[in-house]
Amino acid sequence: MRILVIGINYSPELTGVGRYTGEMVDALVQGGHEVRVVTAPPYYPEWRVAAGHSAARFRVDRFSNLTIYRCPLWVPSRPGTLKRILHLASFAFSSMPVALWQAFWKPEIVWTVEPPLFVSPAAIVVAKLSGACAWLHVQDYEIDAAFGLGILKGGRIRRAALAVERILFRRFDRISSISNRMLARAQEKGVPPEKLVFFPNWVDISHISPLFETSPYRAQLDIPEGAVVALYSGNMAGKQGLEILGEVAQRLRDHGKLVFVFCGDGRGKAALKQQCSGLKNVQFLSLQPMERLNELLGMADIHLLPQHADAADLVMPSKLTGMLASGRPVIATAAVGTELAMMVNGRGLVTPPGDGEAFAAAILELAGDHAARQRYGVCAREYAKQYLGRHAVLARFEQDLLACMNEKRSRRSGHRHGLSQRSVQKSSSARGEKTARPVADQQDRPPKSNESP
């Protein structure tokens, strides 16, 4: 297949959308497909363009079966609401001509990801011009999350934004997302169920596996022998609800054998550091390289996964896959009945969002129960192996791409066939001839998902 990928985040970014999009593209290229990527220079989560890249210039990198177009954008050092909108708009503006030019390449799949929804109009137009399958992957519902978290406000603005979102969603041939609840939300937004595809985040279970020896990070951070490490590792942004981490660290500051390690970068890190100022039971790390991720996750006795209540079913944290694969228990904040709560249940503990007292009590409970930590960790690893393995998830996704492409080809073929028949009928009518209605050809039927193109 010829596949065009459009999105603001891409490798070598180490977290979130950029990481998953990069790994997806690598798998498709290794599978023999030809891929072009229209993206920005790497800048996330530091909100600073990486060394060796420019925010002001276009750049093209060509490899075997892969071409990457890096488009300029404005990156604010301290992103607020208006600055974030301008940031996204700058990429949408600079990337649009590059994306539209790809229509001459005739891609068969045009794949884009939300966030940001800003680039979806370009994806829809390119797919229309080239006759490709238009595919939107929803990592989180940015409009719902923005209003739910109070980043954006106003009933009239919300209704207008959701109306635009609904119009855009209807233009895609496929919409995928990372959880069943998020797919259900797409249906609520008017997407027919036959267009929906489950495409969860994955983990390389050969790279992330239970660490049975002592992690080198314990010596690096001078963590005492026998200490219980409660680790948060990931992006430090507003939707994570990081303030509860500082609260529980304060509450448990006198618990001698409990050490908190907070690893990551983002605009919420400075506030968390200020909240933990003077605490001897807290250590901070910057985002660590991918090759050390297993050592980092294996340092933990307990993984911490805070989440705002309003984001629990709008955002499925991508960091959860690595936590589960590491074979360590997870303590998450989530409301009962949310998909996040159901995923963590039986593999750790779940407490109400924003309840620092309950979160601290759960940490103390697992810190004092080695057998429970072992039991939950084994269940977490088994779940990751069974449902979240990178190879299995991406193999299913490849088949879904093939099915979408075949369906699009079949519809185009049927459309051309119908036009031809109507022309014959019109010509015959003009001559006063009778024509029989054509019988559908076997080749015109939509192929099954396991058929090759």
CATH code at position 344: 3.40.50.2000
Residues 133 and 265 in one domain: no
Residues 265 and 359 in one domain: yes
Burial of 284 (0-12, 13-18, 19+ CB in 10 A): middle
Structure-model confidence comparison of residues 361 and 45, the more confident one: 361
Question: What is the rounded distance in angstroms from the CA atom of residue 368 to the CA atom of residue 388?
Answer: 29
Residues 152 and 248 in one domain: no
Number of domains in the chain: 3
Residues 227 and 345 in one domain: yes
Do residues 313 and 178 touch, judged by C-beta distance below 8 A?
Answer: no
Judged against a pLDDT cut of 60, whether residue 33 lies above it is answered with yes
Task: Work out the pLDDT band at 441, boundaries 50, 70, 90.
Answer: very low
Residues 16 and 94 in one domain: yes
231 is a domain residue? yes
207 is a domain residue? no
How confident is the model over 224-247, as pLDDT tens digits?
A: 999 999 999 988 876 678 899 999
Residues 178 and 220 in one domain: no
Residues 177 and 264 in one domain: no
Lowest mean pLDDT among 35-44, 139-148, 382-391: 139-148
How confident is the model over 241-254, as pLDDT tens digits?
A: 889 999 999 999 99
Residue 128, Cβ neighbours under 10 Å: how many? 13
* Residue ranges making up the domain that contains 318: 216-388
Angle at which helices 243-251 and 356-367 pack, to 10 degrees?
Answer: 60
User: What pLDDT does residue 434 have?
Assistant: 39
Tell me the mean pLDDT in the region 388-392.
Answer: 92
How confident is the model over 311-330, as pLDDT tens digits?
A: 655 667 889 999 999 999 99
Task: Work out the pLDDT band at 195, boundaries 50, 70, 90.
Answer: very high
> Average pLDDT over the chain, rounded to whole?
88
- The pair of structure tokens assigned to 40 is 């920005």
Residues 107 and 238 in one domain: no
Residues 343 and 262 in one domain: yes
User: What pLDDT does residue 446 have?
Assistant: 32
- The residue among 170, 198, 226 that closes a domain is 198
450 is a domain residue? no
Strands 34-39 and 66-70: parallel
Residues 130 and 244 in one domain: no
